[in-house]
Amino acid sequence: MAQDIKNLIEKIQQDGIRVAEEKAKEIESQARREVTQILEKAKTEAARLISEAKEEIGRAKEEQKTFLAQAGRDLLLALRKEISAMLERIILQEVKDALTPEAIYKIIAELIKGSKPFEEEIVISLNKADLANLEKEFLRKLKEEAKKGVVLKPSEEISGGFIISFDRGKSHFDFSDKALAEYIGTSLKPKLAELLKSAVS
């Protein structure tokens, strides 16, 4: 009887150990599956995060390139504008310096010589200082050249040079410093644009 109980206890212990071992194996297997799933999920998530980060870096680089390109274009436009304004100031100053009363007289004399015969008096508009000098030094000569009346008119709008009309103001030719500077600037600006273009390429 005691032997039977002992055998039963041993059998129960062996069965318990076997069940425990099987349970342990099952738990271990389940744990391995879960760890594998967690690792796979972590790998997938890491790959997704890396992919998104690369895309974000790519977008940031493109945005930076676009920003730098735009900044470069803006700088060039500002530089061209400033150089163009500087060129206009230089041309205007050079034209003003060149348009002395003597130079104005010579230009007007050439215009009168080269013009077709006219019947009406010639009207020349100038600033007050040039008018006074021209009147004092050259008006008599101009009248002789024109063989007609020459009228000198002061103009507040003209800072240098002159405007001449052969039909008492119905039409005129503009030789003011501003008009001449604009004309010279128009022919020089394309050349300046080419110089700037070649300088940055």
Q: What is the pLDDT of residue 146?
A: 65
Provide mean pLDDT across the span 108-121. Answer: 75
HSE (side-chain half, CA atoms, 13 Å) at 190: 4
Instruction: Name the more confident of 35 and 75.
Output: 75
Q: Report whether 156 contacts 124 (CB < 8 A).
A: no
Q: What is the pLDDT of residue 3?
A: 65
The pair of three-digit structure tokens given for residue 198, joined into one six-digit string: 């070649």
Quickly tell me which residue has 């206009």 as its tokens: 88
* In the chain, where the domains are located: 1-98, 100-191
CATH of span 100-191: 3.30.2320.30
Q: Report whether 175 contacts 95 (CB < 8 A).
A: no
pTM for this entry: 0.56
Ranges 22-31, 76-85, 130-139, 156-165: which has the least confidence:
22-31
**Rounded to whole angstroms, how far apart are CA atoms 121 and 4?**
153
- For Cα atoms 87, 92, 97, give the angle at the middle one, nearest 5 degrees: 125
Q: What is the pLDDT of residues 141-184, one digit of tens each?
A: 777 776 667 788 898 998 888 998 888 778 888 988 888 888 88
Q: What is the pLDDT of residue 1?
A: 60
Q: Which helix (H) or strand (E) holds 116?
A: none
Q: Identify the CA nearest to 196 among candidates 78, 67, 89.
A: 78
Residue type, 98: A
Q: What is the pLDDT of residue 4?
A: 63
Q: Report whether 161 contacts 99 (CB < 8 A).
A: yes
Residue 200: is its pLDDT beyond 70?
A: no
pLDDT band per the 50, 70, 90 thresholds, residue 43:
confident
